[in-house]
Amino acid sequence: MPPMLSPSSSRQERFWDRLGQHSVLAFFSTKVLRGGPKILIYLAACLSVFILVIRFMPHGLSAAALGLGTTQNIWHWSTNESNKSNDAYFDYDYGSREESGLRVVVFGEDDIATPTWVEREGGAKSETWSQILCRELRCSDYLSFVPRPEHPSHALVSNGLYAAAVDHLLQETAESQSPGSNYRFQPEKYPIPWGVPDLSSQVDAFLAMDNRSVRPPKETLWVFTLGTWDVWSLATIPLNTSRPVVELMTTRVFEQAERLYQSALKEGSAAWSGVVRNGEQNGTSARMFRVLVPFLFDPSLSPGWTTRPKLSAVHSKAEQMRNAATLTDDWNVKLGQKLVEWVRRGVDPTERGDGSDDNSNTPMISKRTMGNRISEIMPSRQRKEELLCDGFAYDMGGYVLDEMLENQLHKSGIHDSNGLGIMAESQIFRDVRKPCVSDNQSPLCETPGDHLFFTPFIVAPRAVGEMGRQAAEMVRNNTSVRSNWDSIAKSLRPKS
């Protein structure tokens, strides 16, 4: 399996090219001309070692070392150009190799650790946390269906659900004369991104892929990173309307996971993975269908929150911040509960057809849950023993909050019982509020490593890397729902 290396920038490649040329010239000018025949023996030995090293290198690296390619292609692991997407919204490759291992497939939105639009000098782009996760797990395929965030609008879980919420709000307040009940600004300031694929459309795109010309992976990790821009758009809407929408959107995440699960049962489908792992039911062998969902960071705590459209005083940013905090908390709680419930029971695919979203502007549908109480979980409803479900929940928002708290405790010279506040000064982010650059065209700040946020909405590369490594460690250690039933059941049990 090729090593998981990030693409080198053209600036780095030019540097190494120049360094190699100068070294060769210096070598021959100072050694060969003065060393006589003895140097030829050294040359032969060096050449032999070089050939042996190249011989045992993975294909991508050996080709680059011999000048047959560049390291820019290593990230795509010998891509099959016939299967490379030309879709204007997606940015992914489907690898084709003699041997296939772990495949990581990502759906969702551009979150705080997905800096795909931050271009660096030489044209190279920053890695996302899911790419680092893939590299840390030594995966062989990486497919991202997250729409490219350079588009004016951002992806949502469901365009249809958000449209229904806005329509419901406007109908409810149509007759009111109160300024506080005037939400006619919502479709203009926070428009419905009909032109950007939502989660259902992304899953459609994956399931439509031609999988016949490539060998299926041994296993797949399905990543769903969602919620940032849903909360951003819903924060202006009253909580009695927006909170039920969050309930429905988190349910929609696992409806789409269920679509992939059902497809993964069919050999030859795009979702099929071919490895057999040890299951835990009656000692049988079973394939694993594993999903990973990150918990949301409250977008109102990011520097980019100040860029929200200015509204009338009755719809103040303070009120929107309170709404965002409540919706973020709701999102994380519901997402965790529904992950547990889905692993044990799943979504009944007959509940709403095939699970697809027609994105129609339908009236607000009634509130549905998946049995949020742990006491309602029924192990007997596990659907297929030959494909067991499991899930990971990485606390992405918690990591950022810890870094913010570490900064404040360090400045105050105190620490807490959880170990926060004792980190070495060289390891903390000295500025957790101001971003290094205000937008993609702004000049780089003097000390990028001191800033927790690189842009108003994206954390610094160091933080992105740490998130990817922490998520990978969770997967490697199998810190999953199935392996932690007792502690999860206790945390989700209703409080008396």
Same domain, 40 and 165: no
Strands 102-108 and 141-144: parallel
Same domain, 82 and 57: no
- Domain membership of residue 105 (yes or no) is yes
Torsion angle, alpha carbons of 129, 135, 141, 144, to 10: 10
CA distance 236 to 217: 43
Assign 3-state DSSP to the chain and report helix, strand, coil percentages, each to 5: 45, 10, 45
Report pLDDT for 492.
Answer: 59
Report pLDDT for 293.
Answer: 98
Same domain, 161 and 303: yes
Report pLDDT for 493.
Answer: 62
The answer to whether residues 137 and 221 touch, using CB atoms and an 8 Å cutoff, is yes
Report pLDDT for 487.
Answer: 73
Strands 141-144 and 277-278: unpaired
Distances (CA, A) of 437 to 135, 268, 299: 27, 46, 18
Report pLDDT for 56.
Answer: 44
CA distance 138 to 204: 27
Question: pLDDT, tens digit, for every residue of 418-455?
Answer: 767 667 666 789 999 999 998 766 788 888 889 999 99
- Domain membership of residue 447 (yes or no) is no
Query: Which of 50, 74, 98 represents a domain boundary (last residue)?
Result: 74
Same domain, 170 and 265: yes
- Domain membership of residue 404 (yes or no) is no
The answer to whether residues 104 and 224 touch, using CB atoms and an 8 Å cutoff, is no
Same domain, 188 and 251: yes
- Domain membership of residue 415 (yes or no) is no
CA distance 417 to 398: 16
Report pLDDT for 176.
Answer: 82
Spell out, as residue ranges, where the chain has pLDDT lower than 50.
Answer: 1-35, 53-88, 92-99, 118, 120-124, 276-284, 347-355, 358-382, 496
Same domain, 18 and 114: no
Tell me the torsion sign for CA atoms 419, 420, 421, 426: positive
Tell me the torsion sign for CA atoms 295, 298, 299, 301: negative
Which ranges of 28-80 does DSSP label H, i.e. alpha helix? Answer: 33-35, 38-56, 59-65
The answer to whether residues 390 and 480 touch, using CB atoms and an 8 Å cutoff, is yes
Report pLDDT for 452.
Answer: 96
Same domain, 232 and 309: yes
Same domain, 167 and 38: no
Biggest CA–CA distance in the chain, Å, is 98
- Domain membership of residue 282 (yes or no) is yes
Query: Which of 26, 57, 74 represents a domain boundary (last residue)?
Result: 74
Same domain, 61 and 209: no
What total of structural domains would you count in the chain? 2
Give the predicted TM-score (pTM) of the model.
0.73
Which range marks the domain in which residue 322 is found? 77-394+465-492
- Cβ-based neighbours of 446, under 8 Å, separated by 6 or more: none
Q: What are phi and psi of 285, to 5 degrees?
A: -95, 140
CA distance 486 to 96: 41
Same domain, 110 and 42: no
CA distance 186 to 178: 16
Question: pLDDT, tens digit, for every residue of 81-111?
Answer: 323 333 445 554 444 343 458 999 999 999 9
Same domain, 272 and 367: yes
Amino acid identity, position 387: L
- Domain membership of residue 130 (yes or no) is yes
Query: Which of 52, 74, 96 represents a domain boundary (last residue)?
Result: 74
> Cα 235 to the chain's mean position, in Å?
22
- Domain membership of residue 407 (yes or no) is no
Detail the DSSP E strand segments found in 279-431: 285-294, 387-394
CA distance 223 to 221: 6
For residue 8, which of 106, 122, 103 has the smallest C-alpha distance?
122
- Domain membership of residue 356 (yes or no) is yes
Same domain, 45 and 149: no
Report pLDDT for 267.
Answer: 86
